[in-house]
A and B are shown apart, each in its own frame.
Chain A
Amino acid sequence: MREVTFLEAIRLAIWEEMERDPNVFIIGEDIGRMGGAFGVTEGFLARFGPDRVVDAPISETAIVAVCVGAAAVGKRGIAEMQFIDFISYAFDQVVNVAGTYLYRSGGKVPIPIVVRGPSGGYVGGSLYHSQQFEAWFFHTPGVKVVQPAFPDDAYGLMKASIRDNNPVVFYEHKYLYRRIKGPIPEAHEDYIVKLGEARIRRYGDDITVITYGAMVHFALEAAQRLEREGISLEVIDLRTLKPLDMDTIAESLQKTSRVLIVHEAPKTGGIGAEISARISEHYFEWLDAPIMRVAAKDAFVPFAEPLEKFVLPSVDEIVFAARELAAY
């Protein structure tokens, strides 16, 4: 095992996949000479050369499109969005070009690409460097959506995403990049975390907390605090948002009968709404209380600290919601 940061886990996963498969290449802004705005591709240019580590112009559409076109003829491109917010520029490529390609080629042309980049708030990034718009792609057929919370998952999920034959949008929470450390397997172990499988990060009996990304850490902190009050949280880290692992959710719900969904993205039309709807449709009789959600307010992520704190979810909010749910 290697003890690494969240960022280093992602870096190693990409590096090792590029070592393993000459068809894998990476393209993005400032990723070559500079090694990436956050340093995910540090050392890549020297090792893999400018054809496989491509310093692109500021052209998110072209960055994703190059991966799509190359994928159509057998390559595996990784597109770095310097901030995942900028994926809005490449929306057509992800949704209408990459997402549909397999379908409109009669199943003949898979598009194995990973569009990845730093997401999320809590760092004063303001409107365009803080977003979590994973729901856009959650809503899109043909696309998978991944967001890990721990180094081992980031490592195994990135490898799986690169090897997957479908377009994957991979959210890397920038708050976790250097704050979170953990063990990851050695390179020779060829460790993969299959897409579409959630992981229970803490076992508990009273409430199922369904979450992902940075909120997993918030939920775990809330669980610790509530333990002292005798409220036991089971924390499910979804890891992959699409496809969604409803089996793990159902299994936990059967035990707890109470569900709290937590996400950093705005509440309206978020992933939580879909999970809630599916639970209501299929597992209504198992519930002892209404499904609750803690999410960002339906606003943008503002700059000033009191504003950002007000909009984004907090550990306190999770604690309060869980108390309310436990008391119902």
Chain B
Amino acid sequence: MCISSRIDKAFYDIGRLDILALADTPLHRLDPRAKLLATLVFIVCVVSFGKYEISRLLPFSLYPAVLIGLGDLPPGYLAKKLIMVSPFVIFIGIFNPWFDQTVMFTIGPIAISGGWVSFASLIIRFILTVSAALILIASTGFAPMCMAMEKLGTPKIFAVQLLMLYRYLFVLIAESLRIVRAHSLRSFSRKGKITYRVFLQIAGNLLLRTIDRAQRIHMAMLSRAFTGEIKIVRQFSFGYKEWLFAAGFSVIFITMRSADIAGLLGRLLMEIK
């Protein structure tokens, strides 16, 4: 595998999410705070279920599905990102069937153990929580979200830190990408593999350049009357749409959490049959 592919991929990967956030849809136009609040309620409701819960988790897929629709987001791309980060959860979760072999129920001749049920539950949780977070960023953009977080009480300096990181992320990834490419152009025998020593050189040099850059940025700030505090004007309006979105979804989630909608509906359906 080519060594620079990881960093290349990351570059385009972040870029893609970033571009998605520039779109103009009803979902994108909502105040970020509404989306953030609804997403937090969503995640807390999802993870608060018992570990064997499956059926009552399923209705929660309503939220990502509706948001993907409202925000015109590409489900395939989001799914790919989900799969990319799944190994850790699968690795931890796969022990559940191993340690918990109590038979929970049987489907015909097949006995399903509690471990498999909790594993499935874990995967569903994972899909729901991660997709909610991805949708949040893809429909909001990082910068507006930081500003919304600041409005919701995150310390200003931390919000500014997030904004600065985000701004220079692209600059520095591009810079290290150039270094890594330049290295792989001249490392014929090692197939572009970066040795520990070379890595130190790359990292050290990039670090020095980065520190110099910080000094220049500081000068650019000072020359525009910077006095130690970064001021941002960002007028968000939390109007009726936002109330409707945040409160509406919260009510739905809490209802789905507290009442067994799935069970009720299922019983109803099965009785009709």
Pairing of A with B: no
Instruction: Give the B-binding residues of A (Cβ under 8 A).
Output: none
